[in-house]
Structure formats: C-alpha cells, structure tokens
Amino acid sequence: MSAELPLLSVQDLVIEFDTRQGRRRVVDQVSFDLAPGEVLGILGESGSGKTMTTMAVLGLVAGEPGVMGGSIKLLDGEQQVDLLSDLDGVLSRKGDRVVKNGRKWRRTVHKRMQPLWGRMMTAVFQNPRHSLDPLMTVGAQVEESIELALPDLAADAVAAKAVDWLDRVQMNQPQRVHGSYPHELSGGMCQRAMIAVALARRPKLLIADEPTTGLDTTVRAEIVELFRALLEEERRSMMYISHDIREVLYLADRVIVMKGGKVVETETADNLRLGRGTRADYTAMLLSAADLPTGAAA
Ligand SMILES: Nc1ncnc2c1ncn2[C@@H]1O[C@H](COP(=O)(O)OP(=O)(O)OP(=O)(O)O)[C@@H](O)[C@H]1O
Ligand SMILES: [Mg+2]
C-alpha cells in the first residue's frame, strides 16, 4: 500500500512575505509529488521560488508571514505526516489580513521537524564551506552523521565508514581528508565533504539546492558527475535545484519548471530531452536557449 504513496507530496503551497511594497506571494499554489527513489529537478529563473519551496519542505522558511497555505505530506514508514497540519491554529487576523503568529509557528514547526531532520531529509546548498563546521575535521563531521544513522556502531567501525564515505564521494586521499579541516580543502572538496555528511545520515530525501553554483566550471561538472555516480550506485529520492537545464536533465527523472512562484511545467526529463509532450512556452524557451547537444529539443 505505502509503496504507491509518494515520499513527498506538496499541494497548493503558498508562501508570502511582507515587504516595504506590501504583501508579496513568492510561492503560489505549488503542487508536486516525489516518488520513492525518484529524482525531481526544479528549474527556474532567479527569484522564481525554488529555494523557498524546498525551505518549506525543510520547515526552514524564515521571514513573516512565510508559509500561508497548502499541505506538505512526507511518508514516514507507512504514515503520511502532514508537516503543515496545524497551520490554521497559528493563523490570526489583523484587520482584513490573515497573518501568522511567528513565534508560535516557529515552535510548532521546530517541534515537528526536529525528529525528521537528518533521518528523513538532509540538504546540500551552495557555499559548502559555510555549511561545514570550521572547527571540526571533515572526518569528525562525517562520523557524526554515521553515528546518528547507526548509533550502535563501534568507534573504529565508524571511523572506517567515514573514510569509506569520503572515498565514495571520490575524494583523493580520503584518509588524509578525514583529518583535514574545511579551510584546508578546495571549494569542490568541501562540496564533496558536504555530500558525504548529508548522505551518511541515510536520509530518505536529499535536497540539493544549487550545489554547483559558485564552483569553477570543471569542478561543477565533477560534482554533477558525482551525483550521477551516487545515483547509479543506489537509487535515492532527491530534489535537485538548478538554473542549469543541462544539469537538471542529466540527473532528474522528472522536472518541474517554476516561474514567478508558480509551477508552469511538470514533465519527465526524457520527454523534455526529446522535445516531446506538452510544453509551456517558458520551458520551450529554456530548452532552446540551452542548445542541448542532442538538438532534439529544438
Ligand atoms: N525573508 C524574505 N522576505 C521577503 N522576500 C523574500 C524572503 N525570502 C525570499 N524572498 C523572495 O522570495 C522570492 C523567491 O525566492 P527564492 O529564494 O525561492 O528564489 P530562487 O528561485 O531560489 O532563486 P535563485 O535561483 O536566485 O536561488 C525572491 O523574490 C526573494 O527575493
Ligand atoms: Mg535559490
């Protein structure tokens, strides 16, 4: 029964922020499903709401009022948990406007999300150097993840597994990297380390939000290849966000395209690659601008 349920189901998600120009809706009725073992690519121009959508899944939307509607259902074992089910309880009215009670909301979300972070989902962002703890060796950070996933493992087995993870993310000299601090590594190596830290938690869902942005072109390609190799080694449920249509089509099974806070396209990566299926004008524009090597998208 649960095999048919999506791992993640987002329905009609709405995120709003109060700005000097008034209330702004930055995520507008966004809906999508993610099946277990599926890689969902999210494409869209800067400011289209990609990060806010994933932040809502992680329960990390900062800013008021933030998440204002919709449901985010995560499959935990056989149970579908709605991460937003108490939403009504923390909404109130200010004149004719609906607002969220920030502190109460944050407490509610934190209490609900804390047991899910790591075990259910982990994330990899851009600027990996900022995501790693500068005061801990890379090995210790990977070990921390392993210990959380496998609390009964003996210390020497944890250390061996950490070196193994550093090897799996294709670090040269994993043993040496294990004892290194983040400042001793290049940007690309930091991102590999971050991917090891995230995956060693054995999350059901990995969220990668522009993991290659800010890296040199060759390093970007290497990180994309690393994701591809890790997916070939083991099917993983992943959300992969990028501006880069090539990266997304290379890694994803299915793609959503966002524009101005809305999903304007949901299509399989195969269909997009081959130029099949109904395509929004915006997607067609992205595809033709990408000048894909197959030429099939023209
Ligand atoms: N706390 C906030 N207050 C007001 N506006 C915000 C806040 N956080 C994000 N936004 C706005 O929400 C919109 C969507 O942001 P989001 O970060 O999701 O875009 P994105 O698609 O990830 O863009 P990029 O590709 O540049 O990362 C943007 O216009 C952004 O400026
Ligand atoms: Mg973003």
Q: What is the pLDDT of residues 215-227, one digit of tens each?
A: 999 999 999 999 9
- Strands 39-44 and 254-259 turn out to be parallel
Residue range 4-17, pLDDT digits in tens: 899 999 999 999 99
Please indicate whether residue 260, judged by its CB atom, sits closer than 6 Å to ligand 1: no
For atom 1 of ligand 1, the residue with the nearest CA is: 63
Residue range 167-191, pLDDT digits in tens: 999 999 999 999 999 999 999 999 9
Integer-rounded Cα Rg, in Å, for the chain is 20
Query: In this predicted structure, what is the pLDDT of residue 294?
Result: 55
CA 241 to ligand 1 center in whole angstroms: 14
Please indicate whether residue 26, judged by its CB atom, sits closer than 6 Å to ligand 1: yes
Output the average pLDDT for the chain: 91
Confidence class of residue 138 from pLDDT cuts 50, 70 and 90? very high
pTM over 0.85: yes
For 40, counting Cβ atoms within 10 Å of its Cβ (0-12 exposed, 13-18 middle, 19+ buried), the class is: buried
Confidence class of residue 296 from pLDDT cuts 50, 70 and 90? very low
Q: Are 206 and 199 in contact (CB under 8 A)?
A: yes
Instruction: Return the H-helix or E-strand segment holding 98.
Output: strand 97-100
CA 93 to ligand 2 center in whole angstroms: 30
Q: Are 267 and 283 in contact (CB under 8 A)?
A: yes
> Would you tell me the crossing angle of helices 155-168 and 138-149 to the nearest 10 degrees?
110
Confidence class of residue 3 from pLDDT cuts 50, 70 and 90? low
For atom 27 of ligand 1, the residue with the nearest CA is: 46
Q: Is the pLDDT of residue 1 over 80?
A: no
